[in-house]
Amino acid sequence: MRRKKSPPGFNIHHRKPRRFGGQTTEENISVVRRVEHKAWNILFDNLPAHDVVRLFREYWEIFGNESRVTHEIRQIGLSVLGEMENFQKYKDLLSEAELNRIKRTLSTERSKLRKSRAWGVLFSGLSLEQILVKINGVWIDPDYKLVAEVTQATNVKLEARF
Ligand SMILES: [Zn+2]
């Protein structure tokens, strides 16, 4: 088989990750926008489908509500800025332990911020149904299908099925 090349700004994505035996075959690869590929890796880190499902469920709890996400990003952004300010202002006065606490908080918050943004890049403006179509059609191991069972407006059960 000839090696598939992606056009500029695009990447080849292995739906079943190579490190879990995913092959470079027509049905296992997708051509994806590079920014989206990066976002996918920030959120799902090249993990196998059952981990994607577990993580998706966690993210959905946080990011499932668009206006809440906007609020969340704002809050996290403010808290990162606040901690940065404290850090700059007081770094000569603070104890080692206190500095380390701030650094840990900063890194946790930055990671949350990165994930919120990544979620936005991939799924902003899409309904849950559209998100699942996208994940199933482009991103996850083609042997799996992420399905949602909506029992109430706010109660969404997500699982992966063969
Ligand atoms: Zn990939």
Q: CA dihedral in degrees (68, 145, 157, 127; nearest 10)?
A: 30
Asked if residue 32 is part of any domain, the answer here is yes
Q: At residue 64, does pLDDT exceed 80?
A: no
Confidence at residue 1, expressed as pLDDT on a 0 to 100 scale: 47
Mean pLDDT across 9-23: 94
How many Å lie between the centroid of ligand 1 and the Cα of residue 46? 6
Q: At residue 133, does pLDDT exceed 60?
A: yes
How many Å lie between the centroid of ligand 1 and the Cα of residue 37? 6
How many Å lie between the centroid of ligand 1 and the Cα of residue 87? 36
What does residue 147 show for φ and ψ, rounded to 5 degrees? Answer: -120, 150
* Residue 127 buriedness (CB in 10 A; 0-12 / 13-18 / 19+): exposed
Asked if residue 5 is part of any domain, the answer here is no
Asked if residue 81 is part of any domain, the answer here is yes
Q: Which domain holds residue 78?
A: 10-161
What does residue 8 show for φ and ψ, rounded to 5 degrees? Answer: -55, 140
**Count of domains observed in the chain:** 1
Asked if residue 1 is part of any domain, the answer here is no
How many Å lie between the centroid of ligand 1 and the Cα of residue 45? 9
Asked if residue 2 is part of any domain, the answer here is no
What does residue 111 show for φ and ψ, rounded to 5 degrees? Answer: -65, -40
How many Å lie between the centroid of ligand 1 and the Cα of residue 117? 18
- Give the model's confidence band at 78: pLDDT under 50 very low, under 70 low, under 90 confident, else very high: low
How many Å lie between the centroid of ligand 1 and the Cα of residue 48? 11
How many Å lie between the centroid of ligand 1 and the Cα of residue 61? 24
Conformation bin of residue 125: beta by default, left when phi > 0, alpha when psi is -120 to 50: left
- Give the model's confidence band at 14: pLDDT under 50 very low, under 70 low, under 90 confident, else very high: very high
Give the range among 14-18, 35-39, 136-140, 158-162 with minimum mean pLDDT: 158-162
- pLDDT tens digits, 41-50: 999 988 888 8
How many Å lie between the centroid of ligand 1 and the Cα of residue 50? 16
What mean pLDDT value characterizes the chain?
A: 82
Asked if residue 93 is part of any domain, the answer here is yes
- pLDDT tens digits, 66-77: 666 566 666 666
How many Å lie between the centroid of ligand 1 and the Cα of residue 136? 14
How far apart (Å, rounded) are the C-alpha atoms in residues 56 and 35? 19
Task: Give the residue with greater pLDDT, 3 vs 96.
Answer: 96
Residues contacting 144, CB < 8 A, separation 6+: 49, 50, 53, 136, 160, 161, 162
Please give the helix or strand (H or E) that residue 112 lies within, else none: helix 96-123
Conformation bin of residue 40: beta by default, left when phi > 0, alpha when psi is -120 to 50: alpha
